[in-house]
Structure 1
Amino acid sequence: MSKNQDTEVRWGILGVGNVCEVKSAPAMNLIPNSKIAAVMRRSEEKVKDYADRHGISKWYTSANDLINDPEVNAIYIATPPNAHLELAKLAASAGKPVYVEKPMARTHAECLEMIKVCEQANVPLYIAYYRRELPHFLKIKELINQGILGEIRTVHINLKQKLDASLITKVETNWRVDPEMAGGGYFFDLASHQLDLLDFFFGKITHATGFASNQAKTYEAEDIVTGSFVFESGILGSGNWCFTTSENAEIDQTIIYGSKGKITYETFGKGEFTLETDENGIEKFSFDLPKHIQQPLIKTIVGDLLGTETCQSTGISGARANWVMDQLVKERVF
């Protein structure tokens, strides 16, 4: 479907794995004028099990068959990143809008190719950076826009996670640490959310540089990244990501510093953040998060396709996160 040419979005889902159990797919049947028409997975046993458990009557083991199903008019690509470009091309060639899991692709170059094929086919391209529509992050953006923090000076990301001991035996089946499938390691999986969120708050990052290393040698991908970046607006930022720390060193913290105060939040935690200003001291904010965490974003996609809303997470914005990650890992000191 093209925008505004239908009254209902009928989703076909490629790759009904873990993300489709609670986070995303169930929401598609809860949003008005939206439903799941068909699902696909290469394993017949697994796709049939998913379809049976979720009350979906039609399933496939072939991506082509699902994409070309006339009942399906929008495609959700929920596979690992290595398949995103190929599947986006197939969906675009069939004239069907594309919703892609994050990170958008393995590299910025692949992202640009996805944008190109969708533009040539005149089909919309959306990316699953759903934090742009979560209530606590919308509130943070509102406070920034209101000038509560004064002029924004700098932002710092600090993400540390302990080494998952199970990776020693499961690394071959964990696509998130396989650069051929994911583009990199957990940095690509998690930092993509963080960098896209900063793009949502402050706009485009125009300069970025960093260092990446593999310290623990548990898997092939980088396990530590440090870097700095500059926004088009002149705000400076930095980040430190390490996935091999001890348990007591684990942290998920981003701090936005302004001339009048600061905001501290977790990207992957509860719907909470802390505002501290010179004028009012410390204020804590807390919001309930939806059971199906992607539902608010998917609602805007459905609305965008039907002409009633605008989605803020597109291929253009999603590609920018990949560009920054590419820059931050370019200097490898393995």
Structure 2
Amino acid sequence: MSKIQDTEVRWGILGVGNVCEVKSAPAMNLIPNSKIEAVMRRSEEKVIDYAQRHGIAKWYTSAADLINDPKVNAIYIATPPSAHLELASLAAAAGKPVYVEKPMARTHQECLDMIAVCEKANVPLYVAYYRRALPHFRKIKELITDGTLGEIRSVHINLKQKLDASLITKVETNWRVDPELAGGGYFFDLASHQLDLMDFFFGKITHASGFCSNQAGTYEAEDIVVGSFVFESGVLGTGNWCFTTSENAELDQTIIYGSKGKVSFETFGKGEFELELDGKAAEKLSFELPKHIQQPLIETIVADLLGTGTCQSTGISGARANWVMDQLVKKRV
């Protein structure tokens, strides 16, 4: 697989919206041998505002123009999922590596198509599942791998969020609950992170089934999903996601059970988790998270492109999260 021939990764960013304010893009200018060369957004007013606030000299309102900029040698796609396949195809055709936001696409088939176009063009494809690179999740991975938890028996994901009252009047402007743009609702936006993290911990999920429904009727997409899944490693798992609970019922908890203990953590919370081992008091382990939360993952992408390291979040791994989500929402009741 071809990387880049330069000594510096010069990013072109497509879609400089909210995710590019703090989470991702600023890190690209902090990592050695990495810089933002140009940004693009369809709104000229908004792209100029972003470029000026972040000190970026070059901006575009056309994706094709940015992709074909000869100084840009890597593309970051930060648009809603509906545009990921088209933009990844354009970048691959130009011979430029692709870093795409999560979820990787609206469906597993679109993910496979993205993989195919990048493989045909011989360019790398990375996905923004940045939790794989965060310190507390890497520590949990270590506890699983080194046998501290014993043989892993099961994992259980439980995510409950209250219904966002603003959605009642803003559904049409919230792409995250528009299946045409996002593939589904908040389940696709948030559970994709969790399912990819499970893939990082335990390997590929080989079987998955579930049910989904729209109980509140606030928007078209599903607002509740329940399911179960089996990993190739033999670990069993369940998930329960609901986005219309009451405020006092909100919960973000994943528990991993092993033969020697258990770990519990929040996917979207602080950099900490609780470890309970047989015969010992529960212990809370805390880690400092970076200001720009995607920076550790982007560092591995830069290293991979420059031939000095590897990145563990690729199109191949990212597509697996989409496959599981497709299975879990297949039966709507």
Shared fold, TM over 0.5: yes
Aligned to 2:238: 238
Correspondence 1:134 to 2:134? yes
Is the 2:179–2:185 Cα contact (8 Å) retained in structure 1? yes
Superposed, 1:132-211 pairs within 5 Å as 132-211=132-211
Q: Output the CA distance in 2 between the equivalents of 1:4 and 1:165.
A: 46
Q: Does 1:283 align with 2:293?
A: no
Distance in 1 (CA, whole Å) between partners of 2:119 and 2:225 is 33
- Quickly say closer, same or farther: Cα 1:4–1:83, change in 2 above 3 A: closer
Contact 2:4 2:73 in 1 (8 A): no
SS for the counterpart of 1:220 is coil
- Tell me which amino acid in the other structure corresponds to 1:114: M
DSSP 3-state at the match of 2:253: strand
1:27 matched to 2:27? The reply is yes
The corresponding residue for 1:251 is 251
TM-score, structure 1 length as denominator? Answer: 0.99
* Per-residue CA distance 1:15-61 (angstroms, 9 max, x = gap): 00000000000000000000000000000000000000000000000
- 1:111 alignment partner in structure 2: 111
1:220-260: CA deviations, max 9, x gaps? 00000000000001110000000000000000000000011
2:84 alignment partner in structure 1: 84
- For 2:253 and 2:243, the matched residues in 1 are separated by 14
Instruction: Give the distance between the partners of 2:140 and 2:320, measured in 1 at CA.
Output: 21
Q: Distance in 1 between matches of 2:185 and 2:3?
A: 35
| Aligned residue in 1 for 2:213 | 213
Partner amino acid for 2:23?
K
* 8 Å contact from structure 1 (residues 15, 41) kept in 2: yes
Does structure 2 retain, via aligned residues, the 8 Å contact 1:23–1:294? yes
Residues 1:38 and 2:38 are matched in the alignment: yes
- Give the stretch that moved more between structures: 308-317 or 274-283: 274-283
The whole-number CA distance in structure 2 between the counterparts of 1:192 and 1:201 is 14
Number of residue pairs matched by the alignment: 333
Hey, what's the Cα distance between the residues in 2 that align with 1:72 and 1:4? 11
Q: Deviations over 1:147-206 (max 9, x none)?
A: 111000000000000000000000000000000000000000000000000000000000
Q: 1:323 is matched with which residue?
A: 323
How far the C-alpha of 1:279 sits from its partner, in A, is 3.5
Q: Which runs of 4+ in 1 moved over 6 A?
A: none
Structure 1 stretches lacking a partner, 5+ long:
none
Q: Deviations over 1:289-321 (max 9, x none)?
A: 000000000000000000111000000000000
SS at match of 1:194: helix
Task: Tell me if structure 1 keeps the 8 A contact 2:60–2:66.
Answer: yes
Give the superposition deviation at 1:4.
5.1
Tell me the TM-score normalised to structure 2 length.
Answer: 0.99
Q: Give the distance between the partners of 2:33 and 2:51, measured in 1 at CA.
A: 20
Deviation of 1:146 after TM superposition, in Å, equals: 1.0
Provide structure 2 residue ranges, at least 5 long, that are not aligned to the other structure: none
The answer to whether the Cα contact below 8 Å between 1:2 and 1:95 also exists between their aligned partners in 2 is: no
Q: 1:273 matched to which residue of 2?
A: 273
**Which residue identity is paired with 1:152?**
I
Q: In the TM superposition, what is the alpha-carbon distance from 1:64 to its structure 2 partner?
A: 0.2
Verify the 8 A CA contact 2:264 2:273 in the aligned structure 1.
yes
Deviation at 1:73, TM superposition (A): 0.2
Distance of 2:269 and 2:189 partners within structure 1: 16
One-letter code of the match for 1:297? L
Q: Secondary structure at the match of 1:281?
A: coil
